[in-house]
């Protein structure tokens, strides 16, 4: 065999790389909290084989406690209802592998301020994702919104197990609200696992994928950018939802999350169908405070005809470059990032941060209470200017340096490895080797 071809074999084998080390943890998915309301919450977990498990919830404020059994089965999802708003509860999940305990908090009522975090596009960037989870975990926010592309392949259970292992330090205490990305929705079949692993309200036009939830004085709407918008059920649904929420005196802020942004400076470009559907105009009409998106792996914030948008898609997937220079785009940075939103009455303090928590951007917005039958107005109180940067009024806590944080139970494996690039390189090297060998044979004849 030609020596060149022999040289290529390790490269070809290298495409797949060494298998990630097996977790020592006995559960396929450790317990995590989902679908939290002021009076209810769900705890989910998965055992390696069919098991009957026990879960106990105990109020840390009163003497109340509840116990439920789950199973026999591998996937477990238990909901507790009749709880008290903004109260702490301790849960203990007991499986054949022993008990797991943590503390969660119910959602607040409409008068209470709260903080939430936004990040997205984690995919195979496990090392980055793990570091980001530690920063987010340190913040102790009320919940997390993910803008989509959790994993490389939504059909592969192993991808999801990795995601849940890395994000468990955060998700075991704080609910994560998912936005479906193109990587979850491979040929629609990926949604089976997505629906099983996330528990969110299921009364939207595409149950557990297109949905809405309320937190404090804010209403959140999550869309599916893999599905059509023009004349589609999710468009009609959101239109009605926005109208109802705008008329509700207890709702002071509206947020939308969709994986593909209608405005972007990144290489993927805007989601034209969403613009064509007229839904973005409705967001303006009903006074959506901010639209969150992912997909273009970078950070961006802008404003188009009064509608604020932010792309936070730097959770681990390879970072893109800034392709366009749109006048509506106010701040862009191709970097790993997350956003943080403090909601206090009519005011929202939005800030964006790099991996180490350093400030990248901020804007403070106030939603003007409209007079009857008048459209709401989102006033910019102050915002980041490159020439005069200012510190936000409520900065996030500074996370400790990564080196001082506790060790991670997951093997580093092949974190953030550029698989596609390596695979193509290996195939090219293989073809070059084959060509050289055939040429060599022809010359010998």
Binding mask 254-293 for Fe ion (x = CB under 5 A): ----------------------------------------
One symbol per residue from 111 to 130: x for binding Fe ion (CB under 5 A), - otherwise; what is it? ----------x---------
- Measure the CA–CA gap between 230 and 236, rounded to whole angstroms: 9
Minimum separation from the CB atom of position 309 to Fe ion (A): 16
Give the Cα-Cα-Cα angle 153, 158, 164 (nearest 5 degrees).
95
- Structure tokens, 431: 């073809």
CB of 135 to Fe ion, least distance (A): 20
User: Minimum distance between the CB of residue 182 and Fe ion, rounded to whole angstroms?
Assistant: 4
Stretch that binds Fe ion, among 62-70, 80-88, 143-151, 273-281 (CB under 5 A): 143-151
Q: In the bound complex, which residue of the shown chain has the CB atom lying closest to Fe ion?
A: 149
Which is nearer to Fe ion, 187 or 404 (by Cβ)? 187
Shortest reach from residue 426's CB to Fe ion, in Å: 23
Binding segment for Fe ion (CB under 5 A), chosen from 68-76, 128-136, 149-157, 432-440, is 149-157
Shortest Å, Cβ 225 to Fe ion: 8
Whole-number Cα distances in Å, 26 to 29, 172, 210, 390: 9, 16, 33, 47
Q: CA-CA distance, 165 to 161, in Å (whole number)?
A: 6
Alpha-carbon torsion angle 180, 186, 188, 193, nearest 10: -70
Single out the segment in contact with Fe ion by CB under 5 A; choices: 5-13, 37-45, 138-146, 314-322.
Answer: 314-322
Size of the site for Fe ion (CB under 5 A): 6
- Tokens coding 343: 């909601």
> Which residues neighbour 277 within 8 Å (Cβ) at sequence distance 6 or greater?
229, 230, 231, 232, 235
Question: Binding string to Fe ion for residues 177 to 196, with x set by CB under 5 A, is what?
Answer: ----xx--------------
Identify the H or E element spanning 359: strand 359-368
For 167-201, letters b (16+ CB in 10 Å) and e give bbbbbbebbbbbbbbbbbbeeeebbebbbebbbbb
Q: Which of 30, 137, 139, 149 binds Fe ion (CB under 5 A)?
A: 149
List 162, 295, 340, 367, residue binding Fe ion (CB under 5 A): 295
> What are the CA-CA distances from residue 264 to residues 205, 251, 268, 379, 416 (Å)?
27, 28, 8, 22, 24
Nearer to Fe ion, 35 or 179 (CB): 179
Q: Which spans of this chain sit near Fe ion (rule: CB under 5 A)?
A: 121, 149, 181-182, 295, 317
């Amino acid at each position: 065999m030609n020596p060149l071809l022999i040289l290529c074999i390790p490269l070809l084998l290298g495409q797949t790389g060494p298998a990630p080390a097996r977790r020592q943890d006995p559960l396929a998915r450790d317990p995590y909290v989902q679908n939290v309301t002021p009076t209810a919450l769900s705890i989910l977990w998965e055992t390696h084989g069919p098991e009957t498990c026990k879960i106990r919830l105990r109020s840390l404020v009163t003497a109340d406690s509840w116990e439920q059994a789950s199973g026999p089965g591998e996937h477990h999802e238990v909901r507790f209802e009749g709880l008290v708003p903004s109260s702490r509860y301790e849960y203990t999940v007991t499986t054949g592998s022993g008990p797991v305990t943590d503390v969660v908090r119910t959602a607040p009522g409409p008068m209470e301020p709260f903080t939430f975090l936004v990040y997205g596009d984690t995919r195979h960037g496990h090392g980055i994702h793990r570091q980001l989870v530690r920063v987010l975990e340190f913040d102790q926010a009320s919940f997390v919104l993910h803008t989509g592309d959790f994993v490389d392949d939504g059909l592969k259970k192993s991808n999801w197990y990795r995601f849940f292992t890395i994000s468990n330090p955060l998700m075991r205490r704080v609910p994560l609200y998912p936005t479906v990305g193109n990587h979850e929705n491979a040929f629609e079949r990926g949604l089976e696992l997505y629906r099983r692993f996330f528990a969110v309200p299921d009364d939207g036009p595409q149950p557990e994928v297109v949905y809405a939830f309320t937190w404090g004085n804010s209403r959140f709407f999550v869309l599916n950018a893999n599905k059509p918008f023009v004349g589609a059920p999710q468009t009609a649904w959101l239109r009605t939802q926005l109208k109802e929420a705008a008329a509700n005196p207890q709702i002071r802020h509206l947020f939308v999350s969709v994986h593909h942004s209608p405005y972007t400076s990144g290489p993927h470009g805007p989601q034209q169908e969403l613009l064509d559907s007229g839904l973005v105009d409705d967001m303006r009409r009903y006074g959506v405070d901010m639209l969150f998106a992912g997909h273009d792996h970078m950070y961006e914030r802008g404003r188009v005809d009064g509608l604020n948008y932010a792309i936070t898609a730097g959770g681990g997937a390879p970072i893109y470059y800034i392709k366009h220079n749109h006048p509506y785009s106010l701040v862009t940075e191709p970097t790993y990032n997350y956003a943080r939103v403090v909601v206090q009455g009519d005011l929202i303090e939005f800030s964006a941060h790099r991996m180490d928590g350093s400030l990248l951007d901020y804007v403070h917005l106030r939603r003007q209470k409209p007079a009857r039958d008048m459209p709401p107005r989102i006033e910019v109180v102050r915002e980041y200017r490159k020439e005069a940067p200012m510190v936000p009024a409520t900065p996030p806590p500074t996370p400790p340096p990564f080196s001082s944080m506790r060790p991670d139970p997951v093997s580093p494996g092949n974190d953030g490895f550029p698989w596609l690039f390596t695979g193509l390189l290996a195939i090219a090297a293989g073809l070059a080797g084959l060509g050289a060998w055939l040429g060599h044979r022809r010359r010998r004849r």
